[in-house]
């Protein structure tokens, strides 16, 4: 029988046993908990879940803001051997209902802020027996669901401490639903040991996170990226998690970073872009931050250079996935290759493969990125066919097209199905986007292929201007001609107030293609359009 390993014990109780219970584990806008206090809170929530009848390996779905309740709820599920299922707070009631039903949950935890969404979701989930809501209102639930307040859950667990359930390294711990932009959402199933693996190989060996660090993340806990940033990495190292319940904005995070002395700042290009465009953020706002991290989409070189020059923060771009739990290719401090994702994280191997599945050799040759590492999910819940398409033995298909550079770093060329042909030659949207982002008027951009009258794809740039600027289509096309081969220039430029994004912050290129094809972009007054 395998030796017992429980993630909650590894992340929290281990530090108390080692005599570090007085260290600060968690800081929110309203409360601060030491490791000893966090351990007591987790055990109380865990006992409350046990009192509701939650058994080992049962799923507990959480739709909650990033605060102490969500933090301790996830850890409590680990503690009793149950499976934590943090769900996106951006979903509608019917969308959340599909996840609750799919996960076969009997217990759902929700924040008062999302109580209407949770109530609507439970209408579609007849197997749910208990719903726990923060605040005082537990009314309006379907007849088959018994409501409880968070305080009642804590009271159920008062005076009870059964210790962590003796899970094994391979025991299920965490389900994370993908965004499902190309189909119904699917849950990637992760084990207890996956959390230790990513924390030590990326969090500590790449980022160097230690007890002195205070981690602040733009991405929320229901994202694979966010749960690593704000929970796994700081706790595994005995550091401090800085949670922010509110929607992220440059002004808010500048205030939190300064006020709480953040040392590691986790963001995304969709955050760093507006941050650099903001005129009211002081240059010393991130003076305590020793390193920045970006993921979700490729970080443009201009954002890397802008963060370094304006705020003195070196941002390490990387690529991760829900299926691998966190980042598996990353730049390294002191040897960043701007515009690239960096090099493989310790413990991971990567390969580029062509459409026939053959390994692509040589620098500069594009191929679909495949990755191998111990943090890979065991598959998708009840999605056998999709699991077989993505999980190929030890390897996982990422769906991203990459090239290997001469310095052994890897550069993203876009999603495998995003590449387009212009004049019979393959064009990577990322390359055109990088050129456009270097223009002083451009805040965000996405290049998509749209068929012309002959059915041939033409690159069209969808551009969001910086505050106070306007999109000049002719000037942007000329800008591209100056810096790119002629065939790569966009054949059209469309100005938009914002880019459509998935719940994980990725650009919805399929929506943009449809908007450009049917002209619906014109309903949101563009800053300018052209065709060339």
In the chain, the domains with their CATH numbers are 7-22+33-188 (3.40.50.980), 248-415 (3.40.50.12780), 419-531 (3.30.300.30)
Give 140-190 pLDDT, tens digit per residue.
Answer: 999 999 999 999 999 998 877 779 999 999 999 999 998 643 346 899 999
Q: Which residues contact 160 (CB under 8 A, 6 or more apart)?
A: 43, 44, 47, 50, 51
Structure confidence at residue 523 (pLDDT) = 40
pLDDT of residue 91: 85
- Per-residue pLDDT band for 18 (boundaries 50, 70, 90) equals very high
Work out the pLDDT band at 527, boundaries 50, 70, 90: very low
| Helix, strand, coil % over all residues of the chain, rounded to 5 | 30, 25, 40
**Mean pLDDT calculated for residue range 196-225:** 97
**Distance (Å) of CA 486 to CA 213, 437, 459, 492, 529:** 48, 18, 12, 14, 20
* Residue 176 Ramachandran class (φ > 0 left, ψ -120 to 50 alpha, else beta): beta
pLDDT at 426 over 70: no
Please report the pLDDT score of residue 467 as a whole number.
92
Q: How confident is the model at residue 390 (pLDDT cuts 50, 70, 90)?
A: very high
Residue 6 has a pLDDT of 98
Asked whether residue 285 carries a pLDDT value surpassing 70, the answer given is yes
User: What residue has token string 């993921």?
Assistant: 295
> Measured between alpha carbons, how far is 94 from 96 in angstroms, rounded to an integer?
5
Q: Are 175 and 190 in contact (CB under 8 A)?
A: yes
**pLDDT tier at 454, thresholds 50, 70, 90:** low
SS3 labels along 445-512: EEEEEEECCCCCEEEEEEEEECCCCCCCHHHHHHHHHHHCCHHHCCCEEEECCCCCECCCCCECHHHH
Residues 238, 23: contact at Cβ < 8 Å?
Answer: yes
Report the pLDDT averaged over residues 325-343.
96
Residue 82, pLDDT above cutoff 70: yes
- Mean pLDDT confidence for 133-137: 94
Task: Determine contact, residues 446/462, Cβ cutoff 8 Å.
Answer: yes
Do the beta carbons of residue 474 and residue 530 sit within 8 Å?
Answer: yes
pLDDT greater than 80 at residue 417: no
* Residue environment code for 60-97, b if the CB has 16+ CB neighbours within 10 A, otherwise e: bbbbbbbbbbbbbbbbbbbbbbbbbbbbbbbbebebbb
The confidence score (pLDDT) of residue 521 equals 53
Q: Which of 328, 378, 374, 324 is closest to 189 using CA atoms?
A: 378
Mean pLDDT within 290-295 = 97
Look at residue 485 and tell me whether its pLDDT is greater than 90.
no
Percent of the chain's residues with pLDDT above 90: 76
> For position 522, what pLDDT does the model report?
47
Name the nearest CA neighbour of 333 among 320, 318, 353, 321. Answer: 318
Q: Give me the mean pLDDT over the 302-326 stretch.
A: 96
Is the model's pLDDT at 514 over the cut of 90?
A: no
Give the chain's mean pLDDT.
91
d(CA 493, CA 274): 21
């Amino acid at each position: 029988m395998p030796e017992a390993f429980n993630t909650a014990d590894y992340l929290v109780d281990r530090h108390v046993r080692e005599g570090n219970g007085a260290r600060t584990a968690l800081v929110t806008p309203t409360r601060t908990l030491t490791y000893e206090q966090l351990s007591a809170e987790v055990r109380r929530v865990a006992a409350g879940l046990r009192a509701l009848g939650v058994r080992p390996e049962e799923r507990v779905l959480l739709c909650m803001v990033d605060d102490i309740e969500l933090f301790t709820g996830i850890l409590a599920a680990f503690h009793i051997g149950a499976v934590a299922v943090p769900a996106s707070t951006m979903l509608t009631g019917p969308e959340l209902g599909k996840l609750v039903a799919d996960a076969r949950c009997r217990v759902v935890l929700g924040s008062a802020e999302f109580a209407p969404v949770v109530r609507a979701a439970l209408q579609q989930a007849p197997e749910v027996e208990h719903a726990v809501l923060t605040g005082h209102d537990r009314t309006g639930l379907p007849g088959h669901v018994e409501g409880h307040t968070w305080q009642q859950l804590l009271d159920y667990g008062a005076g009870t401490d059964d210790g962590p359930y003796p899970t094994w390294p391979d025991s299920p711990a965490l389900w994370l639903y993908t965004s499902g932009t190309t189909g119904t959402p699917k849950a990637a199933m992760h084990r207890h040991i996956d959390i230790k693996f990513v924390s030590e190989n990326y969090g500590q060996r790449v980022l160097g996170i230690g007890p002195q660090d205070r981690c602040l993340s733009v991405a929320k806990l229901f994202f694979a990226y966010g749960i690593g940033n704000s929970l796994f990495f700081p706790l595994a190292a005995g550091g401090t998690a800085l949670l922010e319940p509110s929607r992220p904005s440059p002004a808010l995070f500048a205030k939190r970073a300064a006020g709480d002395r953040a040392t590691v700042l986790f963001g995304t290009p969709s955050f760093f872009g507006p941050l650099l465009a903001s005129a009211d953020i002081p240059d010393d706002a991130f003076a305590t931050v020793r390193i920045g991290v970006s993921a979700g989409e490729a970080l443009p070189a201009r954002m890397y250079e802008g963060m370094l020059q304006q705020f003195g923060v070196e941002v390490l771009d990387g690529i991760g996935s829900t299926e691998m739990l966190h980042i598996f290719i990353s730049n390294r401090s002191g040897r960043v290759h701007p515009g690239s994702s960096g090099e493989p994280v310790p413990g991971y191997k990567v390969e580029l493969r062509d459409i026939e599945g053959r390994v692509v050799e040589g620098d500069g040759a594009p191929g679909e990125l495949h990755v191998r590492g111990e943090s890979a999910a065991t598959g998708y819940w009840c999605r056998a066919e999709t699991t077989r398409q993505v999980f190929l033995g030890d390897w996982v298909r990422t769906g991203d097209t990459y090239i290997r550079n001469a310095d052994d770093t890897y550069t993203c060329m876009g999603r495998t199905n995003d590449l387009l042909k212009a004049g019979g030659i393959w064009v990577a949207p990322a390359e055109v986007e990088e050129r456009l982002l270097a223009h002083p008027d451009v805040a965000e951009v996405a290049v998509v292929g749209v068929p012309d009258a002959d059915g041939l794809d033409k690159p069209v740039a969808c551009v969001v201007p910086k505050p106070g600027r306007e999109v000049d289509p002719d000037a942007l096309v000329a800008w591209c001609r100056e810096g790119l081969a002629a065939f790569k220039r966009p054949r059209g430029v469309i100005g938009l107030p914002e880019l459509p994004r998935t719940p994980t912050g990725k650009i919805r290129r399929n929506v943009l293609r449809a908007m450009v094809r049917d002209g619906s972009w014109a309903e949101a007054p563009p800053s300018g359009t052209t065709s060339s």
